[in-house]
Every structure is written in structure tokens, then in C-alpha cells.
Structure 1
Amino acid sequence: MADLRVLFSSNDRFEVDEAFTNRQRQWAVVAAALEEHLQRIKDAAFDVEDLEAPRTNVTVFHGVGGVGKSTLLRKLEAALTAAEDRPAHWGAPAWTERLLPIRIDLARSASTGGSDFERVILTIRLALAGALGRPLTSFDLALRQYWEHTHPGEPLEEYVRRTGLMGRLSTVLPQQTQAAVSEVAHALQLPGVVGSAAGKVTAALVKALRERHERARALAGASRTASLLEATPDLEALSYYPHLLEWELSRLPPKKTATPIVLLDTFEDTADRHRDFERLLQRLVWLMPNTLFIISGRSRLSWADPALHGELDWTGPIAWPGLAAPADQVVPGPRAAEPGGRQHLIGDLSPEDCDAHLARRLVAGGQPLIGADIRDVITARSHGLPLHLDLAVSRFLEIRRTGQIPVAADFDCTFPALLARTLSDLTGEERHVLRSASLLDAFDLDLATRAAGLTHQAPARRLVDRPLVTEDPYALWPYHLHAAIRSAVRSDDHSEDRWTDTDWHQAATRALAALGDQWANTTDLAPSRRLLVACLRQGLRLARDHRLNDLGWLTDAAFTYTDDSIWEPLAPPTSTAPDGRDPRPGLATSADALAELLSAIVRRQHEHRQRTVDRLTAVLDTNLLPAELTEMAVYYRAKAHKDLGSNAASRAGMQHVADAGGRLAPKARRGLANLARIAGDFPTALAAVPTLGWKGRHHKVLGDIHWPHGDIDQAITAFEAARAEAEQHDAPGERAIAQVRLALVVAFADPVRADDELAFAYQLLDHLDQRATTLLAHTAALIKDAGTDRNVTGRAQALHTEVTDAGLPWLIRFLQIALAFHHAIQGAHQDLAATIDRLHELTAATGDFAYFTDIAHFMGNLPHPSHSTVRWLDGHGPVRERWHALVTARARQLGTSQ
């Protein structure tokens, strides 16, 4: 009926295509593209050095997140690797050629394009190394030259091993690149040139190519090889090296070759946010026409759009004929990929495709009839569901027929018809489970059943088999409702069996209890961090949105969460009423206060510490938290005060928590010990260590006492013990903190070992959100390089800006002591005196961290400052000797004079 109504209101036909549920069609698409690709590269006219021919070596699957694109690419990878891994209903392929599928998940990349692209290139080359078992001479030589230029001092072997690329193949690529260098050196008769001297070998090869020596042309005869090798071996050059790789593959004997199939997953992580990285990837695809690329992302690939000219190297429908959308077809639909087309929709529509669909759906005078503001609201409300778009277009036409002008507010709603169609074929029990499950972002059978208050799982089992429930078998909770359906269920005011507010409140109470039981009663030896965070995220939102006054298990979970300093994001979305709208401002319940408390604690890694103090003070002023959680707020506010240098306020907060004797009392006693050390009262700090234990991080406190005394060996022992204890207690956040402290101390005495310790520290920090600890690691790197010409002062100045922006003034003292060490080693007496003056200015007002000023004097073998109030454990004389000895040892090692 809806289609007919639209048909008689517009000249454009509207179609709604089903979200795919059978991957056989996707396999057929890939099989057809691969057969066509194999035939094309066999053609005698095919030339990998032709840079002008249009590219048809790309197939794209696009759709909203969670519809199975990554799963599809994993299945394609397996099916192309081994026949036994191919589902039987997909059928046998027609080709017999050897294939080499290489899947690369772009979501695992870092935020900077350079390292991302290096990983892509290395992954492809590593896969070829394992499959071909031979060097690809010109490419390998270029890669070796690039690596030596861009990563001086870091062997390719070490990088591949450290990053874990390709597992057991980690040693193959370095061996093959070494062999390529040696092969060229031997062929060009370069006696005495070792294999690793890529620069010398490259220069000789380029010269030989320019002089048209036959041996050189046999080794690297691609017409552009010499120019590529002459170019500065930077990231830009690296992005053109795939041309050499493709040329090397094209000249392999038929029995030795393999056709690469590169599967680039989660392409939206590059295309949507990092156009520079997308440019590098597009260049890779263009320069490797012999390779078939299968790309998945949330939106269509826009390379055929001429509007991108200048942003990417090759754009427009002539360059990418298979990526262009036919002008007479709606962009989002799967049929947009006509025979020969390369873009295929999977599942729901992305926001970009929703907008394009609505813009082309109704047209008047060549312009979209539905305005951009209305399209935005419809798109947001649809969550990519084609049926919602259909109903919204019908509503638009209905409003126009009444003589009114549609406005955006008319579409900020869900459609009863959508819910009616959803509920029409569900049993009463299934509808009950559906409503209960709509309270949860994700769920399993047990959560859905318990939230519904049922004792049997059969209704939940039947519900998850319905197409309105999406399954991700790799997720912690595998099921979630389609967002549009979920929104419609929660705002239901029309169904005969709709719930009352009391029904929703009772279901939320059941769901919260079920989450807590699942966290506490997991079958693992101990609840996993992943489960804890997931339960907290859902539990906080349930408790807050439904005003559940009994926090229950959330209190225990909050303490467990904060215990290890990992700081995954927790804050649920803006507090909303059960219908999904009407935000509730302010902190009105204990659940509101707890959510804000945890948010402030987590966000302090990204906000100025004064902002943390203000947020926690606001939470405390509400008096909504129970006693235990109030102590948590006081403790973390005291930590923020310490970071700001407000040590009197910090001491008052720590003392309050310590006197309360609660769960955080050991940490508060540690805080008091640290404050005593900061004040220069080392005997008091040392006396507190035996009372701290693991919860008070006694080994770390001891290390922080020893290293200011220049007692490096004892400090190393203490921090190694702290790291080992953290490993024993499975506390990765604390282990990273101890490792950074260890690297800092080692950096004073042994810069060679410090390199290794810092590499390990950064590896441990990689998946953690510890801003202060990361900045301290950067400071340790300065200490390691002290006395050298590695721009220590410039790096310290840049780091000073980061530290200041973060609201961490205590770290400024560490930066100054690093500079004092640097100047003392170089014998730069005036610079050292200026640094000492800055340290005195930083410490004079309160006397806190005054021992840094003493240490700077000791480094330069200067008289003990008369204004010092530091209480050293063994007097300032031995401390002076130890610090001056560290300076003279480093100066002697570097050959500098003091």
C-alpha cells in the first residue's frame, strides 16, 4: 500500500531492499569479480606499468556497523584460503589459480597515517614472503632503504618481532630484504658492501640503471625503478613502492606466482576521518592492478566522485568505472551495483546513504523535495532502517496533502506502524521479552530472560531468531535490537498491551540485578575486566535513567573498576526518560551522582586537574552518594589536588579517607606517605612503608624514596618488585606505572638498558589511558638522552606545554631535573644555574619537592643550598656523592667535560 501511495505521488519509484541474511549472494559477487580479475590479468595486453588504464580491481561491501561486514571478510578470507573452509552452499569456484588472501583490519591502526600505512605495506609483504619464499628484489631494496632512513637505529627485524606482525613469519621478511640487498651488491660487483648497507647498494643500482647496464635492468627493470630509488625514502615514496612490488610479482614464473587478494576491513576508520591515509591506500590500490582488493566500510567508496579531485590522486567515473553509481538509480539499494558494478550494500543504510536516498526519493524541479533539515531528523530516527525511511516519506506526503508544509519536528518520532509490524507476529511472551530486552544495549539469552522475569528461555530463544535482532557472535553479549525498533518499543503509547511506568521500572530493576549477578557469578576464576566495564556501562544507564535508588552491586563494581588505573570510557549517554527523550538535567539521584563521579575520575586523563576538582566537589555537594562512594570522591579529589600542587588540601582529603578505615584507606595512607616525601620528610615517608602492603603499593612508594637519594640500585629493586607484584595481582595498569618508574630510574644510570625498559613501558601503556604516566615516560626518555645532541632542551620545552595543558605541575619538576642532569653532564654551568633558579621558584612557596633543588645542586657538585629543609635519610653528603657520580659517569661515557 505504501509503495502505491508513493507511486501516485511521485514519478520516482521507491524500493526497499531487504537487509541481507544469506551471504551466498556476497560470495557470488566476490566469485564473479575474481573470475573477471583473473581473466583480465591473463590478457596479453595487461601491463602493470600502465598508470592510465581505468581500475576495476576493487569490490566494496558497505553498510551500517554490526551487520556482519567483518564477519563476511573473515569468511571470504577462509574460503579463498582453503576449500574445506568454504560453506558448501557457496559452491565450488571455477578458477584453479593459486590465490593469496591477505585480510587487514584498519580499525587496529593508530591515529597517525604514517604508521598505519607502514603496517599495511608490511602485512602485504609479509604474506608474500611466506607464500613465495623468495625476495622481490627492487621492492625489498627500496623498503630496506626506507626503513633505514625513517627508523634509524630500529632494525626492521626488531619492529616486526615487537609488533607481532604475521606471527611465525616475523623473521622471513627481514631475511628476504637482506637477501635482496646482498643479491644486488653481488650482481653489481660491489665488494666489501655488507648486506645491510642499503643506501650504498641503492645508489649503485640507480647509477647502473641510468647507464642501462644489463645486469641492473635484469634485477630491477621497471621503467620507474631508478626514479623511485632516487627519491627521498619517506612516507610519500613508500606509498609508490607498491608499483615495484606489483612489477616483481608480474615477472615471477607462472608456477611460482600467486594472485594477491587484499581484504581491507573497517575502511570507515580511514575514509571518514583521515583523508591523508585514504590517499595512501588509494595509491596502493591503483599501483597494484594485478591485485584484487575487497573493501568493507560503513559507506560507499566515493573515489568515483569527481568532487574529490585534489583530495585524492585518482577520482571520477572514468578512473573507477565500477564504483560510480548509475545516475538513474537510488544510491543506497543493493541494485545500485548493476552488472559490472563494484559497490554492494549489506544490511541497513549508513547515514550518508540515508540522506542520499531521501534526497533522490522525491524530486521537484531537479531539487530534493525533502529538505536537508528534515532528512537529518529522519536519518537519525531511522538508525538506517529502510522501513523507517519508507514510513517517513509517506508521512511527508500525507502532511503535504493536508496543505501544510512539513517541518523537521514532524519527523522527530517513531511510527506506530513500524512497531505494529514488528509486534504483529510475536507471541505475548515474545513481546514481553522484547520490551525487557529494549532496556539493554546488548544481551544474551540469560539477561533477556531475567529482565523479563521469566523462568524459561524459550521465548528469548525464539525472539533472537527474528530478523529484528542482530547477532554478533564475537561480542560479549551477542544480541542487540535494531536501534529503530528499540526506540519504537520504548516510546510505545499505542499497543494494547503497552507497559505502564511501573512495568518499566520493575523491568529495569530486574535487568540491573541480572547484570550484577552475571558480573559477580561468572564462571571464570575472576570476573574479566571486559565484563566489568560492560556491566558498569549498562548498569549505570539503567540505574540513572530509571531512578533506581538502590545501587547494589554498582558500588562494588565501581571500586573494582578504579582499582587498576586503566580508565576505559564509562559514562552512559545523556540521562533520558524511558521513552528515549526528554533529558533530565542535573544530579537528582544517587545513580546520577555515581555516573558523574566515575566520569570525572575517567575524564581527568583528558581534562585539566582543576576541572576534576570542580566536578568532584559538585558531586560531593549533592550529598547523594553513600558513605563508601563519598570516600571515593574525596580520595580522587585529594589526588587531583596533589597533581595541582595543592598539597595541604590533598593532605586533608587523604587523612579523612585514611581515618575512615574504608576500602581506600590503604591508598590514602600511601597518599600521605607520598605527601611526606613531597614535603622532603623522607624518614616519615619511609616509616609508613611497612604499613602499606600491596593495596598501598608499598614497593612503589619505597622506590620513590630511594631514587631521589641517588640510590639507583635499591630503587630499581623496589620498582621491579612493584612490577612483579602487579603482575601477580593481574593489574596491568599498575604494572605499567611501575615499569615507567623503573625506566625513569634506569635512565639516570644506564641509557642502553633504559631504551629497552622504555620500549616495554610504551608497550604496556599502549592500551591504557594513563596521561600522567605517559608524560612521565616521555620525561624518562629525556633523562636517557641527557648529555647528547638529541634536542633534549627542545623536547623538554614541548613536553612542558603538554604537562601544563594537562594541569600536572608536579611533572614540571621532573622536566627541570632532567634538564639539570643534561646541563651538568655537558658542563653548561650557566644553564644549570638557570635551571636551579627555576626549581627554586617552583618549590619556594610551599617547600614541596624542595629535594629536586637539592638534587640539581648535587649534580653540579655545588654547595648545599642553605634554604633547604629536606630531611635526607643519610644526610646530604652521601646523596651528593651518588648524584655527582651519576653525572661524571655519563660525562665520561659520552666524552664530555664538566
Structure 2
Amino acid sequence: MSIDQFFGYGPDAPFATNEVFTNREEQIDRCHRWLIEHSAREWPVQALMDFQRPAVNILAVAGEGGIGKSTLTRHVADLAVRGELDGLPKNRACAVLDFADPDSSSFESLLLRVRAGLGGLARSWPAFDVALALYWERKHPGESLAAFLGKGSVDGRRAADQVSGTVDQFLGGFGAISVTYQVLDKLGRTVAHKAKLKSLRNELPALDPILDEPDPDRMLGYMPVLMSADLERARAKRPVLAVCVLDTLEIVQGLPSERGGLEDLVSRLVYLMPNVAFLAASRLPLGWHDPVRALGLTYGGAHRWPDLAGPVQLRLDGFDPVSANEYLTTRLTVDDRPAIDEAVRNRMIAGSGGSPLYLDLSASLYGQYLARGQAPPPEVFGLGFPELVLRTMRDLSETDRDLLRAALLEAFDADLLQAMLPGIRRRRIEAFTSRPFVRREESVWPAYRLHDNLRRSVLDCDAHTPDGWTLSERREHLQRAINHLAKVALSIWDEEESSSLAERTRRTVAAFCCCVPRSSTAYCPGAGGPRLQPERRWPLAGPGVPPRTGRRTRAEAAVRCRPADYPRRSQRRGSLPGDARAGRRERDAGVR
């Protein structure tokens, strides 16, 4: 039981909570084979200095929020470091960079974490540590680098000792470093120090331009290549495996793409350290190979990242029903038996849509009932979770949040979203429809839809978001949808329409029978007033419908909507006042 579960359920919880990892064997095997291939490569200095080479040292896992990306990447890294994956070097280390951590917004902090996490793979890191000492004096004059590193974990204290030893060996101690020393020949107190530094400079051509650079921020962006060279020197003595996890990378991808920005610096980190295996977890596929995205990257383009368009980007889907049931039966147990009833498990599985996070939240809710000594009511399970929706919306841009709200109809396509939100560019709409939580069914029209639980939860939670739509805004956007669908329905009689009659018939039926009737009230929850309901005046044209005799005008062919609570014709006739009924009878008899 984790600390959160202990303080959530209490020490006397009548069940056991188990960590479960299931339905990811294929992905683990793929990562295992990739790590074996990676560890077999060698990177001499000449290869490290080739800045046009293709990068093959990153494997990205993409998928919607709560699908298990972080769990998978960290689990694979943990298996590799613990030696539970065969065929890998015995000396292993891992650094984890979680961009959800506020401290990860600084590239300096990221680089120091990598240095600390991998520090145990080599006795010393001379090239990187010399540059780090000089960078630190220029960036933080008067602040002790060794003291800063030593304040952290065991890895940090080890890195502090290693940096101090390197500075003593090559520069004669931190006192020899001065912010005014910008010429390499001035570094080092003695001839012996200068000789060691000169030898290091001759071995690694990248050291001189980095130490000569007076701007510490520009230095920092290229210093990963020095760490890579030090790591390769250690690999030449004994095989080692260095792994780095890049978690919640979508936070970096959402920042403006520009040279010197955080995404550019992270891509430099990966590119300049080809002997480190990077496992990335992101809600968005990596686009460093994309020509447009590459404009803001120092090392971008398809020639440098050829594999990003191929198999190194794993799309992670949700659990299948069998795996979801296995998860729930194992998550909570009483005397080694499933604590969750089968009927409740089936409701959870049906409502989850395969989301591991949804299943975990459902199991936690079930556990809270048991901890209070209550019987969990089945009807509260299988519904939406505000935590899941708010987490999804938190990671969307303002434009994508509006598109998500517009997509709450039972079905939609790009044309319908464009009609509802005419100010949004088509490219943004197409990018939204490719998101993992948008489901596509080619056999129906409109082809896109959201899971019912997601739709209901967004409707319930949208009022609690800072930029949620008001009821009047929902009505306005719904009216635009109705107008668009009415236009689609009328297109069956448009002789200039290029699609076949059968296709136009199918879309017409879907337009006035699928989207508008139910969505008009569900889309505007709590709205008063009449509900729009389609009224079919005659059978639709199309295959299997006999042609209607006589001339049919476009006005006759239109689909007319009337209030659902407005009386039908027979009801209206019987409810007229007495004088009006008499007048109508006289008119029908020809008196008038």
C-alpha cells in the first residue's frame, strides 16, 4: 500500500491494494529489443562530432492522458536498471526528467539531473565537469557548485565529489576559475594542470569552442556532447547502459518552437548524446523531423530524425476487456480473492473505454466505500470522473478545448466543427480529429465521435473550468450545427452534388435523425424551452423509396423542425375553442 493509499483508506482497510502491470507485454518486448540494439553501438569521437548523422537513440510512447505512458516508460527503465531484461550490460544507470515538475523548466536543472543520474557509470567526467565549473562561475559567481550539487540526493553528492576532484586535477581547484578567464591558456595553476587540460582539448575538439564561449547560456546548450564523450570513454573500458526517461514531454512540445527554447535544448540533449537511450512519454507524437517544426530546432529535419516517422513512435492504446478485468481483479483483493464484484467490474470496464486511469479511479472509489464499511452501490460505477476530464482539458490549448466542447454532439466531422467554430483554422481542426480520444468509424457518417463517458463528463465539468462555455454560447453553437446539418440534408436534391445518391441519402438520414434530436438537450444541459425535434413531411428519396408524382419544390423538401412540446395536428384540431371549431366545420362544408 502506497503512502497515498494508506492515508486515504487508513491502516485498518479490510482489503489489500496491489500494484498491477498488465497488457503491455508487446510494448515491453519492443523496448527491450531496442535497448539491446542501442547498447551494441559504439560512438567514437569522430562519430560524436558528426552533426549531420541520423539520431537513433530515442523511442517515444504516445497516447491520451491516463493511458499508461509514464508507467510504461518508467517500468521499462526500472527493469533495465534492475537487470531484469536479458542481453544488456551489467553496469546500468537511469536519469528521469519529469517536465511536470516546475524545476524542469530550466535546462540547467535538467542537465544537472542527467549528470547526477548517470554519474555512477564512470569514475570521472573530466570534459563535462571542467566546462560545468567554468559555466557555473560565469552564470552564478560566488555560489559554490559543489555545495549546490551536494544538497540533493546520493547521486547529487556523488556528482559533487566527482566535480570537485576533476576541478582539482585539471584546474588546480575552484579558486583557479575566474569569470574573467575567457582564454583557455589562462586556465590551470600549474604546468601539470595546463598539460592535462591540453591533452583533454586535443582528444575532444568540441571542448575549445564551448570553453571559449563567454555567454554561459550558449555554453550550456552544447555541453551534453562533452558528457557524451566522457560516457563513451567509460564505455570503452567496460560496457555500460545509460537510460534517460523524458516524461510528460507534451509540456515542452506545447511551448513556442524557437531556437534556444526548451524544446530546442531538449532535442539538443538527445541528439548530442547518441550513446544514451532516451525513452519519451508524451500525449503528442514527436515532430522533430517535421519540416515546419524543424525551423525552431538547432538539430531538426527528417535527415536527422528519420525514424520518428516510423517504428520508434509507439502508439499506446487502452486495455482490452480481458486485461481490464485482470487489472480490477488484482488491484483490490480480500484474502487473495477479488474484492470488486463481477457485476461492478463489468460496469467499470464498460465505462472505462480501456483507460487505465479510469479503472484505477474506479477501484479507488470502490475501496473508499469498503474502508467506510459500506456496500458499494453498483449504480455509482461506470459513470464519468471529473478528475479524468479536468486532466484531459488541462493539457489542451484554448482552441482545442473549444473544439472538444463543440465535439460533444453524438457524432461530428471536420465540416461540422468548422461550421460551429468558423474562426478556427482547418489545420487545427484536422489536428484535433487525430487526437487519441477522438474515435473514428469509417462505416458511418459523421465519422468522428467521443466516448459517452467523456462527453457526459465534459458537459458536467465544463462549468467549473475558467473558460467554459455559457448556456447562451452553447445554444449559439448548437444552432450553427443545426443549420449546417439542415444544409447537408437538403443536398440530396442538389443535382450539382458530386457524391452518389446513395451517399447523399445516407448523410441526409444521419443529419436529421442522428445528431440534432438528442444533442439539442444534452448539449445544453438544464436549458429551458422547447426541444428541437425533426418532423418528416414525407419519405426521403433514395434507393427503395418510390418516386413521388408531381412537382416537388425545394420548400416542400425541406426538413421542418417544430417544438416537441407543441401539439400535433390532431391535438391542435381538438383543442380549438368552440367558435373556432364551428368556423372550421362551416368552412369545410363549403358554407364559407
Structure 2-normalised TM-score?
0.51
Structure-1 separation of matches of 2:224 and 2:348: 57
* SS at 1:60 equivalent: strand
- State the shift of 1:294 in Å: 1.2
Q: In 1, distance between residues paired with 2:351 and 2:61?
A: 32
User: 1:430, 1:462 within 8 Å by CA — same for their partners in 2?
Assistant: no
Superposition map of 1:55-66 within 5 A? 55-66=55-66
Counting only pairs closer than 5 Å after superposition, residues 267-282 of structure 1 correspond to structure 2 as 267-275=249-257, 276-282=261-267
Query: Where in structure 2 are the equivalents of 1:104-123 lying within 5 Å?
Result: 104-109=97-102, 113=105, 116-123=106-113
**1:299 aligned to 2:299?**
no
Residue of structure 1 in register with 2:156 after alignment? 170
Q: Which residue of 2 aligns with 1:728?
A: none
| Equivalent position SS for 1:56 | coil
| 1:206–1:226 contact (8 Å) kept in structure 2 | no
In the alignment, the residues of structure 2 paired with residue 314 and residue 252 of structure 1 have an alpha-carbon distance, to the nearest angstrom, of: 26
Q: 2:218: which partner in 1?
A: 236
Native 8 Å contact 1:300 1:343 kept in 2: yes
Alpha-carbon spacing, 1:68–1:447, altered in 2? closer, same or farther (3 Å): closer
Shift of 1:240: 0.3
Where does 1:82-481 land on structure 2 (aligned, <5 Å)?
Answer: 82-83=82-83, 86=84, 92-109=85-102, 113=105, 116-132=106-122, 134-160=123-149, 164=152, 167-186=153-172, 194=175, 197=178, 200=181, 203-204=184-185, 215-220=196-201, 221-252=203-234, 254-255=236-237, 258-275=240-257, 276-324=261-309, 337=310, 341-347=311-317, 443-444=361-362, 447=365, 456-457=375-376, 459=378
- Any idea what SS the aligned residue of 2:78 has? helix
1:204–1:429 CA distance, 2 compared to 1 (3 A): closer
Contact 1:433 1:449 in 2 (8 A): no
1:34 corresponds in structure 2 to: 35
Contact residue 39 and residue 89 of structure 2 kept, 8 A: no
- Cα pair 2:246 2:279 within 8 Å, conserved: yes
Contact 1:77 1:103 in 2 (8 A): no
Whichever structure has more helix as a proportion of its residues is 1
1:75-86 matches, cutoff 5 A: 75-83=75-83, 86=84
Decide whether the 8 Å contact of 1:268 with 1:299 is kept in 2: yes
> Which stretch shows the higher mean deviation, 256-265 or 138-147?
256-265
Separation of aligned partners in 1, 2:176 and 2:80: 36
- 1:269/1:74 Cα in 2 relative to 1: closer, same or farther (>3 Å)? same
Cα distance change, pair 319–250 in 1 and its aligned pair in 2 (3 A): same
Alignment partners' CA distance in 2, 1:281 and 1:268: 12
Cα distance, 1:461–1:201 mapped onto 2, change above 3 Å: same
CA-to-partner distance for each residue in 1:330-374, whole Å, 9 max, x for gaps? xxxxxxx4xxx21110127xxxxxxxxxxxxxxxxxxxxxxxxxx
- Confirm or deny: 8 A CA contact 2:98 2:247 kept in the other structure: yes
Question: Do 1:80 and 1:99's aligned partners in 2 also have CA atoms closer than 8 Å?
Answer: yes
Shift of 1:461: 11
* Pair 1:181–1:313, CA change in 2 (3 A): same
Asked if structure 1 preserves the Cα contact closer than 8 Å seen for 2:92 and 2:242, the reply is yes
Q: 1:450 to 1:41 in 2, by over 3 A?
A: closer
Q: Hey, what's the Cα distance between the residues in 2 that align with 1:543 and 1:60? A: 31
Q: Unpaired segments of 5 or more residues in structure 2?
A: 1-20, 319-341, 392-400, 411-455, 475-518, 529-592
Q: In 2, distance between residues paired with 1:205 and 1:36?
A: 43
Q: Is the 8 A contact 2:88 2:241 kept in 1?
A: no
Distance 1:223 1:346 in 2: 41
Offset at residue 570 of structure 1 (A): 8.0
Q: Secondary structure at the match of 1:289?
A: coil
- Per-residue CA deviations over 1:248-303 (Å, capped at 9, x if unaligned) read 22223644563311110111110112431100011111111111111111111111
- Asked if residue 581 in structure 1 is aligned to residue 489 in structure 2, the reply is no
Q: Once structures 1 and 2 are overlaid, which stretch shifts more, 259-268 or 245-254?
A: 245-254
Contact persistence 1:81–1:101 (CA under 8 A): yes
Give the conservation status (yes or no) of the 8 Å contact 1:249–1:257: no
Normalising by structure 1, what TM-score? 0.35
Instruction: Number of aligned residue pairs: give it.
Output: 365
Q: What code does the residue aligned with 2:99 have?
A: L
1:46–1:227 CA distance, 2 compared to 1 (3 A): closer
Q: Match of 2:70?
A: 70
Post-superposition offset of 1:168: 2.2
Which secondary structure does the structure 2 equivalent of 1:252 belong to? Answer: helix
Q: Look up the equivalent residue of 2:199 and give its one-letter code.
A: A
The answer on whether the counterparts of 2:255 and 2:263 sit within 8 Å (CA) in structure 1 is no
AA matched with 1:203: L
> What's the offset of the Cα at 1:185?
2.8
d(CA) in 2 for partners of 1:37, 1:127? 19
Cα 1:291/1:448, change in 2 over 3 Å? closer
Letter of the 1:139 counterpart:
F
- The structural deviation recorded for 1:120 is 1.0
- Deviation per CA, 1:313-335: give whole Å up to 9, x if none: 222222111112xxxxxxxxxxx
- Sort the Cα spacing of 1:64 and 1:182 in 2 relative to 1 into closer, same or farther, 3 A: same
- Asked if 1:53 corresponds to 2:53, the answer is yes
Give how far 1:215 is off: 3.8
SS in 1 for 2:287: coil
Distance 1:63 1:217, change over 3 A: same
- The offset of 1:470, in angstroms, is 13
Structure 2 CA distance for partners of 1:168 and 1:104, relative to 1, 3 Å = same
1:52 partner letter: Q
Alignment of 1:771-850 (within 5 A): none
Q: 1:272 is matched by which residue type in structure 2? A: G
Take 1:184 and 1:53, find their aligned partners in 2: how far apart are those partners?
32
The answer to whether the 8 A contact 1:267-1:295 is kept is: yes
Is the 2:222–2:268 contact (alpha carbons within 8 Å) kept by the matching residues of 1? yes
Residues 38 and 57 of structure 2 are in contact (CA less than 8 Å); yes or no, is this contact kept in structure 1?
A: yes
Quote the offset at 1:583 in angstroms: 6.2
CA distance 1:231–1:184, shift in 2 (3 Å): same
- Secondary structure (helix, strand or coil) at the match of 1:41 reads coil
Task: Specify the code of the residue in structure 1 equivalent to 2:143.
Answer: E
Unaligned runs of 5+ in 1: 1-19, 87-91, 187-191, 325-336, 349-425, 476-482, 493-537, 546-568, 587-898
The change in CA–CA distance for 1:168 and 1:214 in structure 2 (over 3 A counts) is closer
The 8 Å contact of residues 58 and 342 in structure 1, kept in 2 or not, is answered as yes
Distance 2:297 2:156 in 1: 33
Equivalent residue number for residue 735 of structure 1? none
CA 1:342–1:427 in structure 2 vs 1: closer, same or farther (change >3 Å)? same
What amino acid is aligned across from residue 157 of structure 2 in structure 1? T
Displacement of 1:202: 6.9
SS of 2:234's partner is: coil
Q: Is the CA contact (8 Å cut-off) linking 2:138 and 2:216 kept in structure 1?
A: yes
SS at match of 1:239: helix
Conserved 8 A contact 2:115-2:159: yes
Q: 1:463, 1:261 → 2: CA distance?
A: 39
Aligned-partner residue type, residue 262 of structure 1: C
Tell me how large the CA RMSD over aligned residues is: 5.0
SS at 1:47's partner residue? helix
